[in-house]
Amino acid sequence: MTTTVPEGLSVALHQHAKGVAVVTAGLVAPVGFCATSLAPVSIDPPVLSFAISTRSASWAVIETAEHVSVNLLADDQEDVARAFSRPGAEKFGPGTRWYRDSVGLPALHGVLSRWRIAPVERVRVGGSALVVGLVVDVERGSPGRLPLVHYDGGYGRLASA
């Protein structure tokens, strides 16, 4: 069976398991979105990247933010991932456990780890932007927990670490 490259790529990417993060920003009004595109770029210097749709309600803030927070979700936070992946949903409503970190960024409770990054590049590619940022702070959560995984359009958990 022959498919177009976009169709074939979409099917293949559904077979690729990815960790789930919520990227947050906004020193005044908080914004956030679910990201499965988080990727390490370099350990020395510490650099991460993620992609965001330029049609996302969060893009206007992310596009100019001096810092953003990347919250790596634990396997018991599927509800958080679902809330932050729905366009137009009230993401920082009463059901979301969050606070302002030491520099005023919105931060989620109960995550595996949190990285504050300073974006150094924002490259538009198609309808998305690739954000590359220098990690300026790392906060680790409780050890022994497992990450939430996105696979085949749904969420799953690892059997063991």
DSSP-assigned letters across all residues of 55-80: TSTTHHHHTT-S-EEEEEPBTT-HHH
**What does the pLDDT read at residue 159?**
79
Q: Is the pTM of this model over 0.95?
A: no
Residue 129 — very low, low, confident or very high, per pLDDT cuts 50/70/90?
very high
Percent of the chain with pLDDT over 70: 93
Q: What amino acid is encoded at 150 in this protein?
A: H
Domains belonging to the chain, first-starting first, are 5-153 (2.30.110.10)
pLDDT digits 0-9 by tens, 31-62: 999 999 999 999 999 999 999 999 999 999 99
Q: Which of 15, 12, 3, 8 is nearest to 154 (CA)?
A: 15
**What does the pLDDT read at residue 119?**
98
Where is pLDDT greater, at 4 or 126?
Answer: 126
